[in-house]
């Protein structure tokens, strides 16, 4: 292997050129229209209406389950394209629209243009807003210039733009009401996550683990943008917002729980970033999210468990203080970010209904925890190819309780650096990356878009320089056993059983949707929107959109008719070769070579495609 940071350098050059040639101008614009929706409606009221899609994941619990059933397993095969909308940007579209009443809101990748579309008037553009951002942010965005969606609340649309600034836009006019920078992009801190609104707070995090950015989550006052609290992933207790009552697996974490697991002051550049999804339990008043990989990717440079990277956090939304934490992958040696969504579901377990948190981690394990206490209930491989671990120690009396048993052969660093560790499954992009799963309370199954991908991994020494890549590894990626790279599965995380699966040539990078019509939806990297029978996995409908899908499927009802919508626009980590014009197989941290054939099936695009049944 050739040791380099070409994945970032090559991406920077290509993205810089591409951003200048495509999409709306960087200049701030806000052209007014007259919205027909009442944008003064509260978020709680909007979310309670099943006709809307009022939150990034539809609900606080991140279920992505809709009670709409006009489209169902008996008629989904009749779906047709109802209308389309071009975003004007040729980058990875990794989010989803919102629908509030008669208005749809969506955001593009950089330059992060936000559109408000009038559903009563042929999706006429009511307003659009393009923030003024320094293009120097482009080279420090990993991996692609994606954005995972806007949030709504208090009559505002909240945007976390690429330069790590949170902006509140008036939902009727698109005029900015406040702007709050969270950290400087000049050190690699960027914004790609979809914020959530909880009460009077806007919750947002940070990207930048590949630049040594120390992760945090911040709560902002929705009315003025003031930062109410900020909780870091690593460091002293006062920065972590933990106290004597904070537990892990039922035991107090103790004083300086993070500092003791880092060498010297490495925690200051320790990663653990928070660019994924957030959920909220209103009864427990807790928010849940995951932290990402520790920096650097060379594990030999950072001995110890590197707490609290790779961790599930449960925090009081008012104070930010953590009630409990659980580290899934101590001393991560593979870049298995723990940022994937936390799905809150009351599950039948051993004859009881348990307030569960379900998390499909990048490391290939599906975790079930009691979301009130942090108790670990189950941990199962959801891809049988996973080989870096034999499983999690579930013996509560064991000193290794809750830890994965690591297989040295597939553990980079175990034989030193500058060694090529071959055949590791899953690859660094995980058995599932950020592409969200969905939960159907009717079937008690989770519908999970996955990556069936393995890798060779070579760590090497790297020095930290603020604002420069801090990776320290070279990767090659390739299909897992069987020769395919994607599995869309219906999975029971309590039993660890797969009810059914669909194999795809490339990773299934589009987020899932479950509906009361016994239909699940997802998108493929080739660009297909699929509807499948939720109980059997039978493909009911398939339509090829103009570009590969890495966006998340939504559904809504307007004027008595149910619609299904998805953003297509290939990119993200899996599609970075296409998005950034890269050809070196080692670029994109191995993704360019692994997904080289994707160019034979799709090209760049940026389009919203909306489907419905025929008839008025």
For residue range 284-331, list pLDDT tens digits in order.
Answer: 999 999 999 999 999 999 999 999 999 999 999 999 999 999 999 999
Tell me the per-residue pLDDT of 95-106, one tens digit each, with 9 for 90 and over. 999 999 999 999
The beta strand positions in 350-444, using DSSP E, are 352-360, 365-370, 376-381, 389-392, 404-406, 421-424, 438-440
Please enumerate in sequence order all residues whose Cβ is within 8 A of that of 474, keeping only pairs 6 or more positions apart, or say none.
1, 2, 3, 4, 457, 458, 460, 586, 589, 590
Tell me the per-residue pLDDT of 461-492, one tens digit each, with 9 for 90 and over. 999 999 999 999 999 999 999 999 999 999 99
Mean pLDDT, rounded, for 501-506? 98
- Residue 358 clears pLDDT 50, i.e. is over it: yes
Least confident of 11-25, 162-176, 512-526, 546-560: 11-25
Instruction: Give the C-alpha distances (Å, rounded to integers) separating 243 from 176, 217, 229, 461, 493.
Output: 37, 17, 15, 36, 31
For the chain, what percent of residues have pLDDT higher than 90?
89
Judged on CB neighbours under 10 Å (0-12, 13-18, 19+), 539 is middle
For the chain, what percent of residues have pLDDT higher than 70?
93
Q: Tell me if 301 sits within 8 A of 461, measured CB to CB.
A: yes
CA atoms within 13 A on the CB side of 456: 13
Instruction: Give the C-alpha distances (Å, rounded to integers) separating 359 from 446, 483, 512.
Output: 10, 26, 14
From CA 202, how far away is CA 509, in angstroms rounded?
27
Q: Tell me if 305 sits within 8 A of 84, measured CB to CB.
A: no
Quote the tokens at residue 11: 């991406």
Mean pLDDT, rounded, for 19-23? 36
- Residue 128 clears pLDDT 60, i.e. is over it: yes
Q: Tell me if 241 sits within 8 A of 258, measured CB to CB.
A: no
Tell me the per-residue pLDDT of 527-539, one tens digit each, with 9 for 90 and over. 999 999 999 999 9
Please enumerate in sequence order all residues whose Cβ is within 8 A of that of 550, keeping only pairs 6 or more positions apart, or say none.
92, 93, 94, 146, 435, 509, 510, 523, 525, 569, 570, 571, 572, 574, 575
More confident residue, 32 or 123: 123
Mean pLDDT, rounded, for 26-40? 47
- Residue 48 clears pLDDT 60, i.e. is over it: yes
Instruction: Please give the pLDDT value at position 443.
Output: 95
Instruction: Please give the pLDDT value at position 118.
Output: 98
Mean pLDDT over the full length of the chain: 93
From CA 260, how far away is CA 132, in angstroms rounded?
42
Instruction: Give the C-alpha distances (Å, rounded to integers) separating 465 from 8, 92, 187, 211, 212.
Output: 14, 28, 9, 8, 9
Instruction: Please give the pLDDT value at position 16.
Output: 39
Mean pLDDT, rounded, for 490-508? 98
The string of DSSP letters for 266-321 reads: GGGG-B----S--EEETTTTEEEEE--PBS-S-GGGS-S--TTSSEEEEEETTT--
Instruction: Please give the pLDDT value at position 39.
Output: 59
Mean pLDDT, rounded, for 400-409? 98
CA angle, 266 as apex, 263 and 268 as ends, to 5°? 145
- First-last CA distance in the chain: 58
Quote the tokens at residue 382: 């959801």
Q: Tell me if 420 sits within 8 A of 1, measured CB to CB.
A: yes
Q: What is the band of 616 on the pLDDT scale with cuts at 50, 70, 90?
A: low
Does pTM top 0.85 for this prediction?
Answer: yes
- Residue 375 clears pLDDT 90, i.e. is over it: yes
- Residue 63 clears pLDDT 90, i.e. is over it: yes
Q: What structural domains and CATH numbers belong to the chain?
A: 6-35+48-612 (2.140.10.10)
Instruction: Please give the pLDDT value at position 580.
Output: 87
| 3 state DSSP class of 151 | strand
Q: Tell me if 68 sits within 8 A of 517, measured CB to CB.
A: yes
Mean pLDDT, rounded, for 126-133? 97
Instruction: Please give the pLDDT value at position 38.
Output: 58
Mean pLDDT, rounded, for 115-140? 96
- Pick from 127, 204, 196: which is nearest to 166 by CA? 204
* Cis amide bond preceding 510, omega within 30: no
- Radius of gyration over alpha carbons of the chain, in Å? 22
Tell me the per-residue pLDDT of 343-357, one tens digit each, with 9 for 90 and over. 999 999 999 999 999
Mean pLDDT, rounded, for 482-504? 98
Four-point Cα dihedral 586, 591, 592, 597, nearest 10: 130
Tell me the per-residue pLDDT of 68-87, one tens digit each, with 9 for 90 and over. 999 999 999 999 999 999 99
- Residue 510 clears pLDDT 80, i.e. is over it: yes
Instruction: Please give the pLDDT value at position 502.
Output: 98
Please enumerate in sequence order all residues whose Cβ is within 8 A of that of 28, keeping only pairs 6 or more positions apart, or say none.
129, 130, 131, 132, 176
- Residue 1 clears pLDDT 70, i.e. is over it: no
From CA 163, how far away is CA 470, in angstroms rounded?
19
Instruction: Please give the pLDDT value at position 586.
Output: 85
Quote the tokens at residue 396: 């509560």
Beta bridge partners of 484: none
Q: What is the band of 8 on the pLDDT scale with cuts at 50, 70, 90?
A: very low
- For 220, which DSSP code? E
From CA 332, how far away is CA 336, in angstroms rounded?
7
Instruction: Please give the pLDDT value at position 239.
Output: 98
More confident residue, 586 or 370: 370
Quote the tokens at residue 511: 């987020």
Q: Tell me if 373 sits within 8 A of 324, measured CB to CB.
A: yes
CA atoms within 13 A on the CB side of 235: 17
Query: Could you give phi then psi for residue 167, rounded to 5 degrees?
Result: -125, 135
Quote the tokens at residue 385: 């190819």
Reading phi first (left if > 0) and then psi (alpha if -120 to 50, else beta), residue 321 is in beta
From CA 318, how far away is CA 282, in angstroms rounded?
12
Q: Could you give the residue numbers annotated as active site?
A: 335
- Residue 33 clears pLDDT 60, i.e. is over it: no
């Amino acid at each position: 292997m050739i040791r380099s940071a070409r994945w970032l350098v090559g991406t920077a050059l290509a993205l810089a050129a591409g951003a200048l040639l495509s999409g709306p101008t960087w200049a701030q614009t806000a052209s007014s229209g007259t919205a027909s929706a009442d944008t003064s409606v509260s978020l709680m009221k909007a979310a309670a209406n099943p006709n809307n899609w009022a939150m990034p994941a539809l609900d606080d619990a991140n279920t992505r389950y809709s009670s709409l059933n006009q489209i169902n397993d008996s008629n989904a095969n009749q779906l047709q394209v109802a209308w389309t909308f071009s975003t004007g940007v040729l980058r990875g579209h990794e989010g989803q629209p919102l629908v509030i009443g008669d208005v749809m809101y969506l955001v593009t990748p950089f330059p992060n243009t936000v559109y408000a579309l009038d559903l009563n008037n042929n999706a006429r553009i009511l307003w659009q807003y393009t923030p003024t951002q320094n293009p120097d942010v482009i080279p420090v965005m990993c991996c692609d210039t994606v954005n995972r969606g806007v949030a709504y609340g208090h009559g505002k649309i909240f945007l976390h733009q690429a330069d790590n600034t949170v902006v509140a836009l008036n939902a009727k006019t698109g005029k900015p009401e406040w702007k709050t920078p969270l950290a400087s992009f000049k050190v690699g801190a960027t914004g790609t996550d979809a914020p959530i609104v909880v009460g009077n707070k806007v919750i947002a995090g940070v990207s930048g683990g590949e630049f040594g950015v120390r992760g945090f989550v911040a709560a902002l006052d929705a009315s003025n943008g003031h930062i109410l609290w900020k909780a870091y992933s690593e460091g002293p207790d006062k920065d972590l917002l933990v106290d004597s009552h904070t537990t892990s697996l039922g035991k107090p974490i103790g004083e300086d729980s993070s500092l003791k697991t880092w060498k010297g002051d490495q925690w200051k550049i320790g990663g653990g970033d928070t660019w994924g999804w957030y959920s909220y339990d209103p009864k427990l008043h807790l928010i849940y999210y995951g932290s990402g990989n520790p920096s650097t990717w060379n594990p030999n440079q950072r001995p110890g468990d590197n707490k609290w990277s790779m961790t599930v956090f449960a925090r009081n939304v008012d104070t930010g203080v953590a009630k409990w934490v659980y580290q899934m992958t101590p001393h991560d040696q593979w870049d298995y970010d723990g940022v994937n969504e936390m799905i809150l579901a009351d599950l039948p377990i051993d004859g009881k209904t348990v307030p569960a948190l379900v998390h499909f981690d990048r490391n290939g394990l599906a975790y079930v925890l009691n979301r009130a206490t942090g108790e670990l209930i189950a941990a199962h491989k959801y891809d049988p190819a996973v080989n870096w671990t034999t499983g999690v120690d579930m013996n509560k009396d064991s000193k290794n309780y809750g830890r994965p048993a690591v297989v040295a052969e597939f553990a980079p660093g175990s034989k030193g650096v500058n060694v090529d560790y071959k055949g590791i499954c899953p690859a660094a992009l995980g058995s599932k990356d950020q592409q969200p799963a969905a939960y159907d309370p009717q079937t008690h199954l989770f519908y999970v878009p996955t990556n069936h991908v393995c890798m060779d991994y070579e760590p090497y020494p790297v020095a930290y320089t603020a604002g420069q890549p801090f990776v320290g590894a070279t990767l090659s990626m390739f299909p897992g056993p069987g020769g395919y790279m994607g599995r869309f599965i219906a999975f029971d995380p309590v039993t660890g059983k797969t009810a059914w699966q669909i194999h795809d040539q490339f990773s299934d990078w589009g987020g899932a949707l479950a509906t009361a019509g016994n239909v699940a939806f997802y998108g493929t990297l080739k660009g297909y929107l699929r509807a499948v029978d939720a109980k059997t996995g039978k493909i009911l409908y398939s339509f090829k959109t103009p570009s590969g899908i890495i966006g998340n499927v939504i559904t809504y009802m307007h004027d008595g008719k149910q619609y299904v919508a998805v953003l297509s626009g290939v990119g993200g980590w899996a599609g970075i070769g296409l998005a950034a014009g890269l050809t070196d197989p080692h670029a994109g941290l191995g993704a360019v070579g692994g997904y080289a054939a994707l160019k034979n099936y799709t090209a760049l695009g940026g389009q919203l495609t909306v489907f419905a049944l025929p008839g008025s």
